[in-house]
Structure 1
Amino acid sequence: MTAPHARIRPATADDAAGLAALQATCWRQTYAGTVPEHVLADRERTGLEWWQRRLADPGGASTWVATRAGELLGFAVAEAVGPGDVRPLRLRALYVLAQEHGTGLGQALLDTAVGDAPCFLWVAEENPRAHAFYRRNGFEPDGAREIAERWGGVAGVRLVR
């Protein structure tokens, strides 16, 4: 399933620079006013190196990108975490550009990355759009909450299905 005129494919090492730029834009669109500026700036500074490492050695993770006319529009990262966690599959990230909200692109990425498998993810407590999206897809809070110091003290909640 894809949003109109979008293609979802596995990410390759050649996508590192594009993913770093896309992630920086999505984080600013999503977390401006919530995450301190210095945290966003630091993530932008280190993003390319992080993506180069992630795509060179993904471990148990799969990264998917959504493209249209060669432009990266969104991405999802899912990883097998094994039986010792709350679910064996974790959705580590799912972001789409703000102009793609409501187009079905996020849904297509979710469906591609984790399908309807039992899964968990962490989401910012103060992100009602994400909470509504995941609720529509069967995710519910399980009561776990953490303060992410590396994100400037943003509170996150764990969602499971």
Structure 2
Amino acid sequence: MQQPEIRLAGVEDAEAGAWCHLQCWQEAYADLVEPAKLAERTADIPTRISRWSQAAREGRQRWIALNPDPAAEVRDRVVGFVAIRPNDDEDAVVPLEVQAIYVRKAWWSTGLGSRLMEVATGNQPASLWVLEGNERAIRFYRRQGFSADGVVSGDPFFGVNELRMVRTRMFHA
């Protein structure tokens, strides 16, 4: 399988990035979020496109993985992404937060998630939040040097709890 190109997202990538975002939620959270809530949260593509456009205009750091198939339609053009930001947790012990990292199901177990994490964090100390019960993601984050720090928070968007995971040292695979 040809590896996707990874690059910073621009405003022109908003629609494709938004489709990836919503489809990743559908694929990753199907067994974790109540079906009606998941359907509601993934139905509003115009709002998600607007948020992606705004993030790009504001210069927020989001890297996208582009489908290597040049004939891919817009909803399949982006097959993964990662977003980082300064950590704003009141009790943060690391300065960087992985705000989001998602890969389309067809690209799971290809190494794409690891490539995205490396591009975005440079293997620096960081933290992230993961839905409780998302064992596949938790295993991935552990392989990336993260461990749960015991902090749990309610996620009002999906109505489930999130666990915080932290990588306090430089990570070398």
2:8 partner amino acid: P
Query: Contact conserved, 1:64 with 1:75, CA < 8 A, in 2?
Result: yes
Deviation of the 1:5 alpha carbon: 2.7
Show structure 1 runs of 4+ deviating over 4 A.
Answer: none
Write the distance in 2 (CA, Å) between the matches of 1:42 and 1:125.
Answer: 18
Which residue does 1:156 correspond to in 2? 162
C-alpha distance in 2, partners of 1:82/1:143?
Answer: 18
Q: Are 1:56 and 2:63 matched, yes or no?
A: no
Q: Report % sequence identity.
A: 33
Give the match for residue 87 of structure 1.
94
User: CA distance change for structure 1 residues 64 and 53 in 2, over 3 Å: closer, same or farther?
Assistant: same
Matches within 5 A, 1:62-141: 62-67=61-66, 68-70=68-70, 71-81=77-87, 85-141=92-148
Q: Using the alignment, how far apart are the partners of 1:56 and 1:40 within structure 2?
A: 28
Tell me how large the CA RMSD over aligned residues is. Answer: 1.9
Listed one character per residue, the Cα deviations across residues 111-145 of structure 1 (whole Å, up to 9, x for unaligned) are: 10112101000001110010000101110011100
Structure 1 unpaired stretches of 5+: none
User: What is the letter of the counterpart of residue 103 of structure 1?
Assistant: T
Q: Distance in 1 between matches of 2:131 and 2:30?
A: 13
- 1:146 pairs with one of 123, 141, 153: 153
Structure 2 gap segments, 5+ residues each: 71-76, 168-173
Q: Which moved more, 1:142-151 or 1:81-90?
A: 81-90
Give the TM-score, by structure 1 length. 0.89
Farther off after superposition, 32-41 or 101-110: 32-41
- Across the two proteins, how many residue pairs are aligned to each other? 156
Classify the secondary structure of the residue corresponding to 2:93: coil
Distance 2:56 2:62 in 1: 8
The 10-residue stretch of structure 1 (73-82 or 122-131) with the greater mean CA deviation from structure 2: 73-82
**Structure 1 CA distance for aligned equivalents of residues 4 and 111 of structure 2:** 10
